[in-house]
Structure 1
Amino acid sequence: MDETVTPLRIPPQMSVYADKHNVFHLLQSMLSSLVIDQPEDPISYLISLLQRSSTDIPRIMLLGPPAVGKHTVAKKLSADLRAVHVTTESLLQDPSELSAQARQYTLREQEVPAELLVRLMQQKLNNLDCFNRGWVLEGIPQTRLQALSLQQAGVIPEHVVMLEAPDDVLLERSQGKLVDPITGDVYHKTFIWPVEDTVAQRLEEARSLPETQRLSELQRHRCEVAGLSSAYQHVLKIINSDQPHADVYQQVLAFVRTRRCARTPRILLLGPPGSGKSHQARLLSEKYKMVDVCCGRLLRSVAADGSALSEKIQPYLDYGRPVPDALVLQVLEERLSRVDCSCRGWILHGFPCDLQQAKSLQESPHQPNRVFLLELTDDDCVERITLRATDPVSGERFHAVTRPAPSFEVQNRLKTRAEDSTDTVTHTLRQYRMNIVGVQSVYPDTLHIDADQDPHSVFEALESRLTAE
């Protein structure tokens, strides 16, 4: 820790009030709008922004490969949310000089440059209808370069939906498409058929691209999908489109409604040693940008910073004794009061470990609003911990079964920590089982997660409950 820099802290009372009344989300939304629109009179602009209840206005991107169903979902979504449906075609049809320039590229069957696309988007989204009603972008952006250009220009979505389906399904869907000449709605002979006979009777075959072009566009999407997902990972939801259209749409609608105006996350992650708390905390922190607060790691960091508090903590760490609750709470109070935790939220693990610690945390200004308990049997915990070892050279941790060392050289230099011995782990688990009942009594709404599955499945289970109301 740099002693010359004083971390910015928000008074606990202010933090609690701000979270209760969604102040940080409001400030973020207002700042984002200022960057996008850059009004000449910021004060009047912000007043009008507050008057229109800006947090209820959707900003959605719907992405995916050709024939995945983007148009049908986007059209219905924009109608249900009363948002503006924006497509590449609608941008090109605008009677402006910029649109005329873009049309010249399409006539030559060339891609519209990212810079010109950004200017078209800014022009469109600055219109009063998009400003007041929000927008649903269909198939924009198509590349990571376009995504980064839009981000730099301040076009920031609140939700990004990536529809996916196997290639063979997409190629089958690309054939047999039908269009309603009156409404422009897209149907299919096999996958989506209109309910009304009058609509079915007037359907016309949609223009079909040559197979080579369909394959080329599909391959292009596959090359870009990783970059697009990375650019929007903190607001992204991937949905399998190879299921009934109604089910796909309901998942999309639930996602864009659930994540809006979410509370600042203050997550408490409980579980026995070896259940994967640290790994899941890191994954959640990386995706949702919340602060990963590991109590043990935090205590070691403070003990090493040379402060007056470090002199009180270091002796306990040197002799392997538990740090008194009063000191731990003092350290947590300081860390959770910083502006990054107040604005982005936090995920705490390694504390509390017993009933008294849970009561003390609950009486503090930093009460969690989500509590997860990773469930794992003692036998599985012992197997996970006792078979793991650390490479002293790289610092990487390996496991004899799930992640063996890559070579004999690395295998021979692996070190096992004393606290990872079977006797020590068994004793720690016995203490955990005795104390967890008391901790749960303080948090009756604890959400239980089965940790006896692969880490990705555990993360998906955590994520689905995190984003639920």
Structure 2
Amino acid sequence: MSIFTLQAHHGSLKFPAFGRTMMTTPSGSHGNRGVESLSGKYSMDETRRPLRIPPQMRSYAEKHDLSQLAQDLVSNLLIDQPDDPISYLINLLQGSSLDIPRVMVIGPPAVGKYTLCKRLSTELRAVHVTTESLLQGHSEDLPSELLVQMVQQRLKKVDCLTKGWVLQGIPKTRLQALSLQQAGILPKHLVMLEAPDDVLQERNQGRMVDPQTKDVYHQIFIWPSDDTIAQRLQKGRSLTNKQLSEELQRYSCEVTGLRSAYQHVLKVISGDQPHSDVYQQALGFVQTRHRSRPHRILLLGPPGSGKSLQARQLAEKHSMVDVSCGRLLRSVAADGSTLGEDIQLYLDDGLPVPDSVVLQVLEERLSQEDCSSRGWVLHGFPNNLLQARSLQESHHEPNRVFFMEATDEVCQERITLRATDPVSGQRFHAVSNPAPSAEFHSRLQTRPEDSREEVMRRLKEYRELSDALKSVYPDAAHVDADPQPWTVFEALLSRLTTN
């Protein structure tokens, strides 16, 4: 499915569409007339350049979640295809149907799709749509066109339109996924379950079914707590080992394509864990509204907490821009501009660059197209209450803030034991990354700011100011930064994707 984009100088809004890019010009404008905005005038080519939107508009759009609202409206239009779209949209906005669940659960055979779908549909009060109920005796190898028609007919019924739906086991192939998307059947969330083949083979053989409720249990993995239910269980229909192997082979050929088709609404969950854990992870995911806004992440913490390393890893993981305030100032100081020359004077004297100058440099950097479209992760600023408030008022306020909490002992060890090889420029650490030879070790140099006395001073300064920073960001997440870097990174990723 393609999207068209209203690109902005300070952000972008993306909507489902039919393979075209929306170009826009201001009402009443002609030729190359300039576009007046709150943040200045922007010249604009009549046919090619997209309208640039100032950060105030972007902030308003994010505050009211307009991108998601527009996407939900268009998705509903495509699915329901009403005769009178305007009246339909008015009724949609006046009601609460925009919040109804649209969930797909897919995965290999015997991974636990039915059990998960039933629990999710009960919790969400949505309609559980199973493959069996759709096919009603038809072969599972139906042509994609016919299968899509069946899905459309079922999801257009009143119960699915008003309550939402949890669709089990469809799509099975990338072709089916694309056909569903072209028909306007778009999930808000897709859960993909996965498990090793040997686990699936074991589950396939121990399947049990309650003949009254049709609930599925297992002799080992899921057993009812009610003895009355346990006594009436019957052996469920299982695939032969040959059939299961063939199904798993077919699924393995399709799984990459399925992930690609639903990458923006996808969560992969291991089915090889207690069902209660699977359910809680899936429920947390489907109860989270998908937002397409770029991340604007701020990392705060004491010196030595690993902000630079984590910022670099987050930027690589999510294709964001790593904005180090210190590195940015040094870059501007070296560019030969008048502003750069002023900054260099402060750096040469070892004095802090004035906040007004730092904010000017930051605003210019965060306003550039790569930061606007891809998002950013900022570290090294703000360092005190005044700086934090100034950043909040700059229209480049972060939408995710993390305080990396580390003890003084860990921070001191990380900083005071590091040194640099002046020949190669490589940085080493006496414990975690020692120099490879005596020759390297003999020429290592420690920066003056990494001395124990200077580190203690900086740590004391941060501790005195941290409460003020936390008052500006009361909803920030706090991450333990004492463990190894990969553990901290996993914790940051988890917090970033679950909220």
Query: One fold, TM greater than 0.5?
Result: yes
Question: What are the residue-to-residue correspondences of 1:214-363 with 2, within 5 Å?
Answer: 214-259=244-289, 266-271=296-301, 277=307, 280-281=310-311, 295=325, 311-315=337-341, 321=347, 324-333=354-363, 347-363=377-393
Is it true that 1:22 corresponds to 2:70 in the alignment? no
Shift of the 27–170 alpha-carbon distance from structure 1 to 2, 3 Å rule, reads: same
Shift of the 454–367 alpha-carbon distance from structure 1 to 2, 3 Å rule, reads: same
Whether the aligned pair in 2 keeps the contact of 1:373 and 1:447 (CA below 8 Å) is: yes
More displaced 10-residue stretch of structure 1: 335-344 or 367-376: 335-344
Shift of the 262–231 alpha-carbon distance from structure 1 to 2, 3 Å rule, reads: closer
Taking structure 2 as the reference length, the TM-score comes to 0.69
More displaced 10-residue stretch of structure 1: 421-430 or 81-90: 421-430
Identity, % of aligned positions: 57
Whether the aligned pair in 2 keeps the contact of 1:115 and 1:149 (CA below 8 Å) is: yes
More displaced 10-residue stretch of structure 1: 291-300 or 358-367: 291-300
Q: CA deviation at 1:374?
A: 3.0
Whether the aligned pair in 2 keeps the contact of 1:65 and 1:221 (CA below 8 Å) is: yes
Is it true that 1:79 corresponds to 2:122 in the alignment? yes
1:65 aligns with one of 105, 108, 112: 108
Q: CA deviation at 1:91?
A: 3.0
- Higher relative contact order structure (alpha carbons within 8 Å, sequence separation ≥ 6): 1
Separation in 2 of the partners of 1:122 and 1:389?
A: 67
Residue segments in structure 2 that go unaligned for 5+ positions in a row: 1-8, 10-41, 435-443
Question: What are the residue-to-residue correspondences of 1:24-103 with 2, within 5 Å?
Answer: 24-93=67-136, 103=138
Whether the aligned pair in 2 keeps the contact of 1:65 and 1:163 (CA below 8 Å) is: yes
1:135-171 residue CA offsets vs partner (Å, 9 max, x unmatched):
2122233344544554555443332323333433222
Whether the aligned pair in 1 keeps the contact of 2:284 and 2:498 (CA below 8 Å) is: no
1:8 aligns with one of 29, 52, 61: 52
Shift of the 167–93 alpha-carbon distance from structure 1 to 2, 3 Å rule, reads: same
1:442 aligns with one of 437, 453, 469: 469
More displaced 10-residue stretch of structure 1: 213-222 or 58-67: 213-222
1:269-295 residue CA offsets vs partner (Å, 9 max, x unmatched):
124677554564466567778776555
Separation in 1 of the partners of 2:422 and 2:214?
A: 61
Q: CA deviation at 1:177?
A: 0.9
What amino acid sits opposite 1:378 in the alignment? Answer: C
More displaced 10-residue stretch of structure 1: 111-120 or 178-187: 111-120
Whether the aligned pair in 2 keeps the contact of 1:163 and 1:241 (CA below 8 Å) is: yes
Whether the aligned pair in 1 keeps the contact of 2:305 and 2:411 (CA below 8 Å) is: no
Separation in 1 of the partners of 2:144 and 2:377?
A: 37
SS of the counterpart of 1:462?
A: helix
Partner of 1:426: 450
Partner of 2:3: none
What amino acid sits opposite 1:30 in the alignment? Answer: L
1:358-406 residue CA offsets vs partner (Å, 9 max, x unmatched):
23223444444532133553356449975799999xxxx99899899xx
Whether the aligned pair in 2 keeps the contact of 1:273 and 1:381 (CA below 8 Å) is: no
1:337-361 residue CA offsets vs partner (Å, 9 max, x unmatched):
7899789875433422444422322
Residue segments in structure 1 that go unaligned for 5+ positions in a row: 95-102, 405-419
Identify the structure with the greater helix proportion: 1
SS of the counterpart of 1:442?
A: helix
SS of the counterpart of 2:447?
A: helix
Q: CA deviation at 1:302?
A: 8.3
Larger radius of gyration: 2
More displaced 10-residue stretch of structure 1: 340-349 or 354-363: 340-349
Separation in 2 of the partners of 1:384 and 1:88?
A: 60
Whether the aligned pair in 1 keeps the contact of 2:300 and 2:403 (CA below 8 Å) is: yes
1:30-79 residue CA offsets vs partner (Å, 9 max, x unmatched):
23334544544332221122123244211222233321211111012112
Separation in 2 of the partners of 1:124 and 1:302?
A: 60
What amino acid sits opposite 2:378 in the alignment? Answer: L
Shift of the 347–174 alpha-carbon distance from structure 1 to 2, 3 Å rule, reads: same
What amino acid sits opposite 1:246 in the alignment? Answer: S
1:85-129 residue CA offsets vs partner (Å, 9 max, x unmatched):
2333333239xxxxxxxx46x4xxxx4455554554444444443
2:170 aligns with one of 140, 163, 171: 140
SS of the counterpart of 2:382?
A: coil
SS of the counterpart of 1:174?
A: helix
Whether the aligned pair in 1 keeps the contact of 2:297 and 2:398 (CA below 8 Å) is: yes
Question: What are the residue-to-residue correspondences of 1:102-141 with 2, within 5 Å?
Answer: 103=138, 106=140, 111-114=141-144, 117-141=147-171
Separation in 2 of the partners of 1:246 and 1:366?
A: 41
Shift of the 175–230 alpha-carbon distance from structure 1 to 2, 3 Å rule, reads: same
Separation in 2 of the partners of 1:139 and 1:390?
A: 59
Shift of the 318–339 alpha-carbon distance from structure 1 to 2, 3 Å rule, reads: closer
Taking structure 1 as the reference length, the TM-score comes to 0.72
How many matched pairs? 437
Whether the aligned pair in 2 keeps the contact of 1:258 and 1:467 (CA below 8 Å) is: no
Partner of 1:417: none
More displaced 10-residue stretch of structure 1: 63-72 or 452-461: 452-461
